[in-house]
A and B are shown apart, each in its own frame.
Chain A
Amino acid sequence: MTNKFQNQQQLKNASNAALASILNLTLLPVIGFIALYSIYKKTKPHNIDHYHAVLGMKINIIAAIVLLLVTALMILLGGFDSPWTWVYVISYFTIVHTTFIMIALWVLVRSWSGDKLFNDA
């Protein structure tokens, strides 16, 4: 574990980053990302807060692509007026969105304990 290299400020930044990541996925899209990015700017490579800021941004960028892009494609290909489009879009969006929230939630508790997502081998 990297604990001994961390100071209080880094831990705080790390958990704020993870929190901003969840907020961007839930209540405050875009605003959450801006907050996340501003935390990222304050961090230095190889520190735990940098790690969590980057991880948070990665998760959110992937989520944005997987959720918005794929959903948009579904609507474009399926047609706005087809009920089947909405069967796929709503089911897909709900399940995948929740999955990202669950991942971000686990990342949040990892940041609280000053850990990376996966323990260093």
Chain B
Amino acid sequence: MKYESQGIAKMYFIAAIGLFVGQILFGVTMGLQYVWGDFLFPAIPFNVARMVHTNLLIVWLLFGFMGSAYFLVPEESERELYAPWLAKIMFWIFLVAGALTILGYLLVPYATLAEMTMNNLLPTMGREFLEQPTITKIGIVIVALAFLFNIGMTILTGKKTVITLVLLTGLAGLAVFFLFSFYVPDNLVLDKYFWWFVVHLWVEGVWELILASFLAYVLIKVTGVDREVIEKWLYIIIAMALISGLVGTGHHFFWIGTPDYWQWLGSIFSALEPIPFFMMTLFAFNVVNKRRRDHANKAAVLWALGTAVMAFLGAGVWGFLHTLAPVNYYTHGTQITAAHGHMAFYGAYVMVVLTMISYSMPIMRGQKAANVKAQALEMWSFWLMTVSMVFITLFLTGAGILQVYLQRYSEAPLPFMVVQDKIAIFYWLRELAGLVFLIGLLLYIYSFFAKGKEVGNIEAIAS
């Protein structure tokens, strides 16, 4: 570790992984409720479990992003973090606020939670992914601003690199677009319209900048390839991400009551959205092919390559699958959407955070890379989680195709619940794959504690 304050990332990563486990536990709970409706009812109803599952996902990814930024920025900027103490305080504020919110979801009815937190003063609750009580949202803004200030001051008073500037832009965008979560118009069309300003412009806009900069950073570190090469790629990737992603928001405006032209704009621009993901894969492949050294941390290289491939698959391919208006007309809000949501979130954002953890955690623990056995276990967990996520996606896709056909396409459409019964086999299979995912995650955690032969400090020169 070059700078002491980079070490702050560790607490963020530990919290992220802890919440990740929580997310998956609620995922497999819900997966079972899909086929065994009364499971854990009334203690944990499906809608509550769903809220906890998705909110934990967002919160732990944010922990992961913040930890990654705290590790990356001092090293790139060649100075200590501007205010390490602030990063530590914010960590605890965010963790406590997050935990209280989740407990609130689980312990009191949602309406009571809204009352307790005085939602009526500034009503923002009740929308998917943004269910947090208004005070939690305010807390998130405070944490995000303090974080942005800290990272921003470090970057601006230190050495500026393309990586840190792209990262800063992405993080600033993350904070700015979150502000739309406070704007909840009464008109349902406008409500949905601006809801997507957070949800879509995050994952298909500013988060892509964060993703690209983390990936670029790790790839420079593990391959030793020239910075100039990587920077050119970064420019093209972020330009393509923004050109396609901003107007691409229109792929959510097909059927919500917005004007018809969105069917054209949304279809055309979002059809371009796979390009930046495609470029990221090309970029990662290119850099790894040109590597100047074989880094001791093989697991990190695997995660980086895995991110590039799986982000393309989940966001690029599975996104394109249902993004054209004539297709989306049939698939909107079906299991196809869930299939895509899972693989895209996992392939892009879960995996890039795990890439950053994989690269930085050993360094923060005073090693260049984890020991041989730990790395082997980590790579096993990579395959278990990634392959089971591919299967979750495939099973949901199968369920989705049948659902579309039987419920929306056939001459004699069947009612929703009748169709759900007919596709239950896919939900069982999804649950099975989910359990394998959980095993992979537990193995991942175990890998941090595995003892084994230390890797040599000498780097083999790539042939």
A: which residues have CB within 8 A of B? 83-84, 86-87, 90-91, 94-95, 98, 102, 105-106, 108-110, 112-113, 115, 119
Q: What are the 9 A-B residue pairs with the smallest beta carbon separation, nearest first?
A: A83-B405, A109-B286, A109-B289, A109-B285, A87-B398, A87-B401, A83-B402, A98-B317, A86-B401
> How many residues on chain B are close to A (CB under 8 Å)?
21
- Chain A residues lying within 8 Å of B420, measured Cβ to Cβ, are none
Q: A98 CA to B430 CA in the complex, in Å?
A: 22
Q: A25 CA to B298 CA in the complex, in Å?
A: 31
B282 pairs with A94, CB closer than 8 A: no
B389 interface hit (Cβ, 8 Å): no
Q: A117 CA to B91 CA in the complex, in Å?
A: 47
A91 pairs with B397, CB closer than 8 A: yes
- Chain A residues lying within 8 Å of B463, measured Cβ to Cβ, are 119
Q: A86 CA to B406 CA in the complex, in Å?
A: 12
B281 pairs with A102, CB closer than 8 A: yes
A113 pairs with B317, CB closer than 8 A: no
B285 pairs with A94, CB closer than 8 A: no
A105 pairs with B401, CB closer than 8 A: no
With contacts A102-B309, A109-B282 taken as known, whether A87 is within 8 angstroms of B290 at the C-beta atoms is: no
B313 pairs with A98, CB closer than 8 A: yes
Q: A53 CA to B309 CA in the complex, in Å?
A: 25
- Chain B residues lying within 8 Å of A109, measured Cβ to Cβ, are 282, 285-286, 289-290
Q: Would you list 20 pairs from A and B whose C-beta atoms are within 8 A, ordered by A residue?
A: A83-B402, A84-B402, A86-B401, A87-B401, A87-B402, A90-B397, A90-B401, A91-B394, A91-B401, A94-B318, A95-B394, A102-B281, A102-B309, A105-B282, A106-B285, A108-B282, A109-B282, A109-B289, A109-B290, A119-B463
- Chain B residues lying within 8 Å of A84, measured Cβ to Cβ, are 402
Q: A95 CA to B312 CA in the complex, in Å?
A: 12
B405 pairs with A112, CB closer than 8 A: no
B289 pairs with A110, CB closer than 8 A: yes
- Chain A residues lying within 8 Å of B406, measured Cβ to Cβ, are 83
What is the distance, in angstroms, from A12's C-beta to the closest C-beta of chain B?
17
